[in-house]
Structure 1
């Protein structure tokens, strides 16, 4: 815990200089005002029909019986139920699934009904268990989303939260409930308190502000973690964390901790809070980044080797944090990164039907099985198996937030709510009301990222400015409005301003991209086009290695390669091949073997490339010799591959 003298000085400065919270740069729309269309809507349906949509039916950490007892460290509001609720609230709304909406309402109702007289929320109530604050934070996010969608719940949810806050404030002051996970993830609670302060303070402004300060100064100092001199340049298992806060290098803590400094900027007004997290984001991907968009962390930060893993929780939490960072800072680098993660790393660690997930995914992954020797520093050799719970159960219940929150954060408004911003590109629709009672509807027909063209229909009762993000990979983008002449897009700070008059406006954006090469370790390369990363899709045999007696579809699977994968490529020969569906409808589920319509062909040759154990590939050989003739191989979008090579040795043809 940091010095109380520092806390007191900060609080005095706060009271003397700051009358209110600093405004966010951009505001999110209430849950329900943004919807997915086309293939993205289908992905949500696949998630409904997969593991996520059925967890409530059979998974012991989510079933009704565990809401009461808190019999496990992962049940109810300690983690699992809270994670599940946070993701399934938006999922149920976006899919208009009445069953899931009923489940989330029952969960909310149970938690609120069983709130202790003193304010505590959670399974520890009445059973003499130690109280930890952290497990409530995802629950609060879910409850806030429910209020956004159903305003009739406002008084009940807000009253419960405001009853909890004085208790939490007292606990923090007494050093209670602050185990290491709470001490790293405190930013999530600050965000909840700020929602209350912004919309439902009910005379509790001083208490809410004081609790925010208590959280910041009792938790780990993320400003120290993101200082360049403290940030690790490689795998951390043999390093000493110079800050002393070891758990800040934990992958999921890092993903969630990215929100802490931008949240506290709202009451510190310290520009350094925003500057440090922005540069820390850059350091994270410079030294641990993956071509799939995410960073390496097979429990802790893992550097850049292609066989080191990335936990699924890292993926979805970084997506959410990146969205929030943009809303606070306004740099589209966060949006570009999140879009890459969403269209590559997220589907790449799930089976196409979403009935199985990995704990750790790998860039070069030539088998999915229980490794007798594994490349992960901490996690078990079972971590890259596709199944229900190949390692810790957190990713099973947490991953469903990924797609829904990507959709709900796709449209924003300016702080004065006069203009609309499209943050993420894809088949989407929004119906909202801007300032001045300006009713606006935007509908986008597109195959993006599996196509370059986005067709818009915009209806507005009054004129407004519509800003569309133009990713940094777009080359020679154009806009054609109402069928008239085509003009070049000219974004400023990543956003292209379009003046929309009242009535209906139709326009088409064409956002082409070129194949780009990314340099990796050992002289290897990775190939991209637009937001998609491309990989060799290795064919495999699938064998059930752990059957689930209750739900057979949720079994664990071993994948063994049945096609060649030991290739070097000549990246100068790479060509994009595109065969869009004749009817304009992508196959379902789109992120499965051989289904996306675009691919990259490249000259390759067989090489000697051995294993570093009996189940995972060695590092890419530098300047390998061809052992066979030159041939053309096909690379497919990373997200559709389950076994793959995506970081290739290089030869010159």
Structure 2
């Protein structure tokens, strides 16, 4: 694949769809060539079910966290008060800002602008920024690189820099680039006296976010000190590239659950760190970093991977048993890392990984109104309840498995908002030769300037994917324009078909990028057909999961919801199954899924879409037998023992039953990793 380097864009129209100009002038010292570049926030407008999801978030905590959550609401430090000056307000803004511009919502834009304006307007003369510190308030101290200890931790500022990046790409506000330049000049000098780990290990463990932002700014200013700063930050941060490539780290994480080096096993840190090798490659062009990334991500998913496409992390990496939990923040951060990795590597492997994680792991962990979240989800989750489970962080108050606004740690209440919003803003990327690439699929409309002539085009992506295998792209342009259109063909698709104006033009096997390079006319219509076949995959404890296309399927269980209140953490919901769950799949299903499984569409993907059982559009039926001895122990469905052939050896019910499965993301209680029986 052809690559290009040093893409620049500037926003031409500040609206729900930004127009782009690409500048291919290269300087003597560039970041490494990369195949793709993110589009500015606002270039993509979500439609269909994805827009419904974002509207739910706007009406829920993403749009109103500052009104319903006291820590962010009261006397906020990022507005000059004495309240939250740590990570939670920037976390929330990191999702609320893209939501405001994806929906072109004036009220939400105004709300987030208050925090952004305060932050920019109150930058100190030295370049330092953030909430007023204790020394500033009580002693009138002026923070400089020489007395940087009067400042506060580097970590929350890393998140706010990501917020400002998105805001700049959406608005072109000319205050942002000088603001960041002054701050990085301050940081370059201050790190000698106040290294990255001076206050906490959080900044050391998450230094890749800081490196990423210094290199992003370098792409605009070409200030050489920014690359020197990036190298300095990397030298003071956890050596994630070496850890990921070294292999012994991920094996030790599977074996150890003690307090030694737990920050290097912490799943949220790992999710953030996945992009570290790619960011280092961007600065150095050293292929070793990409090798480290591939080795590390593969090892994590082999040793800690769960069927829904994410690794265990409750809070630490915790093996691949389907009874282990995953923190919602880990999903949010891993998704964002993959979105950055995709642009830098152009590797379909990571595109497929993002798709699987998004459409399976993500939806299940929040309530329909996006006001409550589950701190840890479990793959085989036969009840959501209070308890002390087999997690590396079990919690004294027993609240880390229930659905509540403040249950578990509230970092996820603040951080969950970036997941859907950043996925929506990374459906398309800028591609070589002034082209566009559709690398993730969902209903949307994208507007950009393309081709040598920089002609504006609008492409409507009309689809119900991932529930439907047909994706239509309708082009609108004021004149004919030549540019390449790239389409990802997922590895799960054996052979895709591409049609142009109803006529088949290509057949493409899965696991690659297809390119249509031609002169496009107004009204051209491309159809991408991605046939979805049923299959089974093998997971922890020799369990089997049923898959179809990008979705994994879980046992459909009737749900009983109970609401309660915990004194410290407030209202929460428990969910229990009303129907039996202790089934094993028949061996013939695994041996021949195509002839043993029946797929049926049970309802259309309609308006006001919600990821819950009532809206699940597809069901799969399978043959199974009950395993009478498989019972929940303290609310956990520990996996039955099988032999190396994967067959459960205990007694099973003589009756063969037909069970119904739905996509995992629509469930709250479920079995997704099944034992196999004869």
Whether the TM-score (by the shorter chain) exceeds 0.5 is yes
Q: Is the Cα contact below 8 Å between 1:349 and 1:358 reproduced in 2? A: yes
1:374 to 2:395 alignment: no
Q: Is the Cα contact below 8 Å between 1:331 and 1:493 reproduced in 2? A: no
1:636 to 2:654 alignment: no
Provide the secondary structure at the position in 2 that maps to 1:647: coil
1:575 to 2:597 alignment: yes
How many residues of Structure 1 are paired with residues of Structure 2 in the alignment? 618
Q: Is the Cα contact below 8 Å between 1:234 and 1:287 reproduced in 2? A: no
Q: Is the Cα contact below 8 Å between 1:357 and 1:396 reproduced in 2? A: yes
Indicate which of 415, 431, 450 corresponds to 1:398.
415
| Structure 1 segment 305-454 matched on structure 2, within 5 A | 305-371=321-387, 373-380=388-395, 381-414=398-431, 416-436=432-452, 437-454=454-471
Query: Which residue of structure 2 aligns with residue 238 of structure 1?
Result: 256
CA distance in 1, matches of 2:433, 2:64: 38
Shift of 1:71: 5.0
1:187 to 2:208 alignment: yes
Query: Which residue of structure 2 aligns with residue 482 of structure 1?
Result: 501
CA distance in 2, matches of 1:476, 1:214: 46
Query: Which residue of structure 2 aligns with residue 496 of structure 1?
Result: 514
Provide the secondary structure at the position in 2 that maps to 1:368: coil
Q: Is the Cα contact below 8 Å between 2:322 and 2:378 reproduced in 1? A: yes
CA distance in 2, matches of 1:236, 1:377: 11
Indicate which of 220, 243, 246 corresponds to 2:238.
220
Query: Which residue of structure 1 aligns with residue 98 of structure 2?
Result: 90
Q: Is the Cα contact below 8 Å between 1:247 and 1:253 reproduced in 2? A: yes
Provide the secondary structure at the position in 1 that maps to 2:251: coil
Provide the secondary structure at the position in 2 that maps to 1:614: coil
What is the Cα-based RMSD across aligned positions, in Å? 2.4
CA distance in 1, matches of 2:433, 2:39: 10
Indicate which of 542, 549, 554 corresponds to 1:530.
549
Shift of 1:61: 2.5
Provide the secondary structure at the position in 2 that maps to 1:608: coil
CA distance in 2, matches of 1:521, 1:286: 9
CA distance in 2, matches of 1:31, 1:231: 37
Shift of 1:507: 2.2
Query: Which residue of structure 2 aligns with residue 458 of structure 1?
Result: 475
Query: Which residue of structure 1 aligns with residue 618 of structure 2?
Result: 598
Shift of 1:454: 1.1
| Structure 1 segment 139-218 matched on structure 2, within 5 A | 139-151=160-172, 153-154=173-174, 156-178=175-197, 179-201=200-222, 205-218=223-236
Structure 1 residues 424 and 111, CA gap change in structure 2 (3 angstroms): same
Indicate which of 59, 80, 87 corresponds to 2:69.
59
Indicate which of 599, 616, 619 corresponds to 2:639.
619
Q: Is the Cα contact below 8 Å between 1:224 and 1:230 reproduced in 2? A: no
Unaligned runs of 5+ in 2: 1-26, 139-149, 643-647
Query: Which residue of structure 2 aligns with residue 300 of structure 1?
Result: 316
Q: Is the Cα contact below 8 Å between 1:344 and 1:638 reproduced in 2? A: yes
Provide the secondary structure at the position in 2 that maps to 1:227: helix
Structure 1 residues 475 and 266, CA gap change in structure 2 (3 angstroms): closer
Shift of 1:474: 1.1
Structure 1 residues 53 and 35, CA gap change in structure 2 (3 angstroms): same
Shift of 1:220: 1.4
Deviations for 1:389-436, whole angstroms, at most 9, x for unmatched residues? 21111111111111111111111122x451211110121221001252
| Structure 1 segment 246-265 matched on structure 2, within 5 A | 246-265=262-281
Structure 1 residues 594 and 261, CA gap change in structure 2 (3 angstroms): same
1:515 to 2:534 alignment: yes
Shift of 1:199: 1.4
| Structure 1 segment 542-581 matched on structure 2, within 5 A | 542-546=561-565, 555-570=571-586, 571-572=589-590, 574-579=596-601, 581=603
Query: Which residue of structure 1 aligns with residue 46 of structure 2?
Result: 36
Q: TM-score, normalised by structure 1?
A: 0.90
Shift of 1:594: 3.7
Q: Is the Cα contact below 8 Å between 2:31 and 2:283 reproduced in 1? A: yes
Shift of 1:40: 0.9
Shift of 1:231: 3.1
Q: TM-score, normalised by structure 2?
A: 0.87
Indicate which of 145, 149, 158 corresponds to 1:137.
158
